[in-house]
Structure 1
Amino acid sequence: MNVTLWIIQIILAVGFVFSGWMKTIRIESSKKTWAWVNDVPKSLVVLIGIAELLGALGLVLPWALNIALVLTPIAAISLAGVALLGMLFHIWRKEYRELGVNIFFIVLALIIAYGRL
């Protein structure tokens, strides 16, 4: 079970690092890739990206360093919340093709939260 959780943690962390990187460092590329980025304040996009990057660190570092292990399920629950809010935002904008990624991230995050608690 531990190996499975590690695999899921790494997959989810890589996904959120990519997403967070695009929203913080590659914001101009994000505007071309995701239509919604053009419709919200840049500071909000960057804030979401920073939250995703920090959450990705929280998924991996506590268990990798064996320090404050409770931070991993907290990070997972927080990232599930970020993905849920993103999903609701896409539903509100009728961007239904974007929902699959959000659902995938939510499921993986909840598996990690449950498994690491």
Structure 2
Amino acid sequence: MVLALLFAAAGAMKVALSQEALLPLMPWVDAVPMAAVRGIGALEVLGAAGLVLPALWPAAAPLLPLAAGGLALLMAGGGALHISRGEYAESAGNAVVLALAVLVTRCGPGPHRGRTGRLCGARTG
């Protein structure tokens, strides 16, 4: 849930705020067209919805790994951008969120045939 809130808040800021307002918070926005920043924000908001919706509506469970996988791809791209700009602390943050998104993709709630082992915890039945 915390991961979803993080993406929803960051995405909403990217969609709603001007480049000038985002610049002190996210210095990378000067290197990316604002249309791309808005698109990234919209994808983050949609990804956050895809993380939360399955908990509210069980029929939406297939959205969870898709949303988490999409967010993992966004974080990989964000990390690459930060590394190319020498923003290593930010890329470390991307790496942590990327790892969490991959973990949700791989081990999220719901039935997981064949998804057992140390990473996800042994599941029986």
TM-score, normalized by length of structure 2? Answer: 0.80
The answer for the alignment partner of 1:7 in structure 2 is: none
2:72 to 77, 80, 84: 80
Q: Which residue, out of 38, 42, 63, partners 1:46?
A: 38
Count how many residue pairs are aligned between Structure 1 and Structure 2.
108
Q: Hey, what's the Cα distance between the residues in 1 that align with 2:45 and 2:78?
A: 15
Q: Deviations over 1:7-54 (max 9, x none)?
A: xxx011011011101111123421221111122111000000000000
Q: Which has the higher helix share?
A: 1
Tell me whether 1:26 sits opposite 2:26 in the alignment: no
Paired letter, 1:89: L
TM-score by length of 1: 0.85
Of residues 94-103 and 24-33 in structure 1, the stretch that sits farther from structure 2 once superposed is 24-33
Runs of 4+ with >3 A deviation: none
Q: Which runs of 5+ in 2 are unaligned?
A: 113-125
CA RMSD, Structure 1 to Structure 2 (Å) = 1.2
| Residues 85-107 of structure 1, C-alpha deviations (whole Å, 9 max, x = no match) | 10011111111121122012111
Percent identity for Structure 1 against Structure 2: 37
The structure with the largest alpha-carbon Rg is 2
- Which consecutive residues of structure 1, in runs of 5 or more, have no partner in the other structure? 1-9
